[in-house]
Structure 1
Amino acid sequence: MLEPRVIFDCLVGACTSAIAIFMLRRYAVMLGLMDHPDQRKQHNGDVPLVGGIAIFMGVIVGAAAYGQFHWFVKILIDTAMMLTLLGALDDRFDLSVRDRLLIQALATLTVIASTGVYIHTLGHIFGYQVELGWFGPPLTVVAVIGLMNAFNLMDGIDGLAGSLELVSIAAMVLFAHPPALQEMMLLLALLATASLPYLIANLGFAGRKIFLGDAGSMLIGYLLAWSLVRISQTSQTHLSPVDVLWCVALPVFDTFAVMLRRIRQGKSPFKPDRGHVHHVLMDAGLGPRKTLLALIALAVGIATMGALISHSATSAGLNLTAFCLTMMVYILTVTSVRARQDAHRNRQATRLVAPARVSNKPIRT
C-alpha cells in the first residue's frame, strides 16, 4: 500500500502537469511547438506539441517534493531533462536521425559511466548464467535507445503511447513486487500520475487537444527503459531480465515488425510511414477509439500471458522461447495483413488510372 507521503507527491506531480498543460497550450504557437497535418498525419488542424514537456515538469516537481532519491535516480532525471529538451527541439526544428541517436546515446552512456548500472547479465538461461561482460554497456545503449524510439513509433493515435506506458508500468509492478527498490517504483508512480492529465487532454476530455511530441515519447521510453534495467539487474526484485521483455512487448513487437518490413522493401528503417499496427487496424475499418481500446487490450493480454508463462515456466530459457515465438506470430500476422491491404490499394489505384478502352466502331451520325 502506498504511503500517504508518496500519494501526496504523486498528486503534486499530477497537478503540476495539469497546470503546465494549461500554460503551455497557450504559448505553443509562440514556441513553435505545433503539429501540422500532412499526408501521413491526418489530424484536424494544428495541435500543440506540449504533452511531453508537461509530463516532465510533473515528474520533476513530484520528485523534488519527495527529495530522498539516491544517486542513480538523480542522474536519470538530469539526463531525462536533456532528452526532453532534445525532443522539444526535434518537435520545433525536425532534427536529423543521426543527431537524435547521438544525443540519446550520450545520455545513456552518461548514466552508465556515472552510476555503473547497465545490463550485466541475462540471467540463468538453459542451464547457463549468461554474463555479458564488456558487451553489457553497448547492449544497454541499444536497448534504451530502442525502447525510446519504440514509444516514438507507437505515438500514432490519440492516447496510445500514454496508455501503453501505463500498461507497462502496471506490468512491472505485477512482475517485480513493489516493496523492493521503492524509489524506482515511486519514479514510475510519478511518471504514471503526471501522464494522466496529458491523456485527459489528448483524448479531448479537457479543452483543446494536445499531442505528446517527441519530447514525451523520448521521456517515457527513456524512464521505462532505465527502470527495467535497474530493477532487472538487482537480486532484490523478482523481475528477471527475460520478464522485462513482456512488460514492453507490444511496442517492441511493432518496432521489429515495422523495421523488418521497411528493410525488406529497401527503405530506411527510420523513414516514417503508415505501416504500424494502429494504421493496420484503422485501415481494416476500426475508428481511432476502437483501435486504441483494441491495442490496450492486446498489450494487457500479452503482459498477462507473459506473467503466467513466467510463473509456470521451469526455466528462463523457456520463458525467452515463448516470448520469441509470440513475437514471430505477431510479426507474421501484422505483416501479412499489411501486405494484403497494400495489394488491395494497389489494385484500386490501377483501376483508377487505367486508360479507358477506346472503341473501334464507327460513330453513327
Structure 2
Amino acid sequence: MNTLKEVIYLFVTFIMAAGITYFSVPTLIKVARMKHLYDEPNHRSAATDVVPTLGGVAIYVGFIISMIIGSDGFMFSEIKYIIAALTIMLFIGLKDDIVDMAPKKKLLGQILASLIVIILGNIRFTSLHGFMGIYEIPFLVSVPLTLFVMIVLINALNLIDGIDGLASGITILTSATFGGWFFITGHYAYAITAFALSGSLTSFFCFNVFGKENKIFMGDTGSLILGMIMSVLVIQFNEFNIGLFGINAFKGAPAISIGIMIIPLIDTLRVFVIRILRGTSPFTADRNHIHHKLLDLGLSHLQATLTILTVNLGFIVLSISLQNVPVGKAFMIIAPLAVLMSSVPSYLLRRKKIRKTALHTYPD
C-alpha cells in the first residue's frame, strides 16, 4: 500500500536530482571550456558545432546524491555495488571522452562493472518466465546471460546517443515506466533509483536540446552510466515478476522489457546486421542508425528525437497492454513490429532518392 511518505520521497528525489544536475551543468561547461574538453564534429557526427562533453558527470552527481538521500529508510543492500559499478563507468567514460580509450579496454571495464553488480550485488536473471519452456535457470547460465544482456544494453544506449535529446529522452521514458511499476508494487528503493535517473536526465535534456550558450553533451560518460542503471532496472523488473500474481504482474516480463527498451535494442541489432552483411566489423561506426536516416529525410534534431520518442512510447503502451500474454507470444507480437518500424526510415529515404533521380532524369 503506497503511503504519503513514499510519494513524498519519490517527488523529493526527482526534484533533488533535477536540481543538482541543473546547477552542476553550467560549472562543468566552464571547466570544459577552460580545459578544451569538446566533442569535435566529424563526417558521421550529427553535430555541427564544438560542444562540451562533460554532461555525464552532472548526471552522475545528480543521480548518486539524490538516490542515496532519497532511499534513506528504504535502503537496499545492493546500493553499494550499483554505486561502485557506476563509478567505474564514470571513469571509463571520462577517459574515453577526454583522451579516447581502446575498445577492448572499454569493454573489459564494462564487464568488470557488470560482474560487480551480478556477483556481489546478486542482481541477475534467475528465470526465463517460461520462454521456450524454460523457467528457473542455474547460476552458471544465469551469470553469463545477465552479463550479455547488461553489455548489450550498455552499448545500445551508447550507440543511440547520436542526436540531441535522444538517449536522455528514451531513458526518461523507460526509467519512468519501470519506476512507476516498482512504485505500485512496493519496491520503493528501485522506484527511487528510477526517478532519480529521470530527474537528473530531465535537467540534462533541457541543456542538451534547448541550450544555446549552455549546450552540453553527455558523452560516453553519460551513456555508459545510463546503460548500467537501465540494465539493473530491467533485471529487477524481470526478477520481481517471478511468482507475482494480480493486476500488477507481467506474465511475459522478458518480452515486455524488450518492448519497453525497443528503440536502443532494435537500432543496435539493425546496424550490426547491416555492417556484417556488408563485410565490415559490427563495431565500425557509420551513419546507418535510425536517427541518421531521419536526419537525411530532412528532419531537425528535435523532430527526429520526438519522432523516435513517440514510437518508443507507442511500444511501451503496446507492451503494457500485453501484460497477461505469455512471453513467447508477446515476443512474436513485439519483434516483427519492431523490425517493420526500424525499416520505415530507410524505405522512405530510398523513395526520396528515387523521386529525386527521376526528377533529374525527366525534368519535365
Q: Distance in 2 between matches of 1:119 and 1:50?
A: 33
Give the structure 1 partner of residue 320 of structure 2.
Answer: 307
**Structure 1 range deviating more: 64-73 or 210-219:** 64-73
> Partner of 1:5 in structure 2?
9
Question: Which position in structure 1 is the counterpart of 2:331?
Answer: 320
Native 8 Å contact 1:148 1:220 kept in 2: yes
| Residues 256 and 331 in structure 1, CA contact (< 8 A), matched pair in contact too | no
Q: Secondary structure at the match of 2:185?
A: coil
SS of 2:128's partner is: strand
- CA offsets, 1:305-334, max 9 Å, x none? 1111234x2x22211222222233235445
Conserved 8 A contact 1:169-1:247: no
Q: 1:131 to 1:344 in 2, by over 3 A?
A: farther
Residues 47 and 211 of structure 1 are in contact (CA less than 8 Å); yes or no, is this contact kept in structure 2?
Answer: yes
Of stretches 61-70 and 183-192 in structure 1, the one that deviates more from structure 2 is 61-70
Deviations 1:178-204 (A, max 9, x none): 333110110010011011111111112
Is the Cα contact below 8 Å between 1:175 and 1:243 reproduced in 2?
Answer: no
1:8 CA drift (Å)? 2.3
Give the distance between the partners of 2:28 and 2:132, measured in 1 at CA.
52
Larger displacement relative to structure 2 (125-134 or 188-197): 125-134
SS at match of 1:124: strand
1:225 pairs with 2:231: yes
Offset, 1:136: 1.3
Cα separation, partners in 2 of 1:258 and 1:342, compared to 1, 3 Å? farther
How is 1:125-140 mapped onto 2 (pairs within 5 angstroms)?
125=131, 128-129=134-135, 131=137, 133-140=139-146
Distance in 1 separating the partners of 2:185 and 2:316: 21
Alignment partner, residue 98 of structure 1? 104
Does 1-10 or 264-273 show the bigger shift? 1-10
Alignment CA distance shift 1:37-1:344 (3 Å): farther
Return structure 1 stretches of 4+ with deviation > 6 angstroms: 338-345
Alignment partner of 1:17 out of 21, 40, 48 = 21
Q: Does structure 2 retain, via aligned residues, the 8 Å contact 1:59–1:190?
A: yes
Query: Structure 1 length normalisation: TM-score?
Result: 0.87
Task: Answer yes or no: is the 8 Å Cα contact 2:14–2:200 preserved in 1.
Answer: yes
The alignment-based identity, stated in percent, is: 24
Which of 267, 271, 293 pairs up with 1:254?
A: 267
RMSD of equivalent CA atoms: 2.5
User: Partner of 1:196 in structure 2?
Assistant: 202
Q: Which runs of 5+ in 1 are unaligned?
A: 352-365
Matches within 5 A, 1:1-365: 2-66=6-70, 67-68=72-73, 69-125=75-131, 128-129=134-135, 131=137, 133-173=139-179, 178-205=184-211, 207-234=213-240, 235=242, 238-239=249-250, 240-311=253-324, 313=325, 315-333=326-344, 336=347
State the partner residue of 1:355: none
Amino acid corresponding to residue 255 of structure 1 in structure 2 = T
Say if 1:336 and 1:288 are closer, same or farther in 2 by CA, change over 3 A: same
Larger-Rg structure: 1
Cα deviation code 1:10-61 (max 9, x no counterpart): 3222221112101111011344531011212242331010111101000111
Please tell me the residue identity of whatever aligns with 2:218: L
User: CA 1:95 to 1:125, structure 2 compared with 1: closer, same or farther past 3 Å?
Assistant: same
Contact 2:153-2:227 at 8 Å conserved across structures: yes
Helix, strand or coil for the counterpart of 2:129?
strand
The alpha-carbon deviation at position 173 of structure 1 amounts to 4.2
**Contact 2:182/2:191 (8 A) holds in 1:** no
Q: Rate the CA distance shift 1:246–1:190 in 2: closer, same or farther, 3 A.
A: same
Provide TM-score, normalisation by structure 2: 0.87
1:15/1:174 Cα in 2 relative to 1: closer, same or farther (>3 Å)?
closer
**Amino acid in structure 2 at the alignment position of 1:309:** L
Structure 2 segments unaligned to the other structure (5+ residues): none
Q: Is the 8 A contact 2:63 2:196 kept in 1?
A: yes
Letter in 2 for 1:241: P
SS at match of 1:122: strand
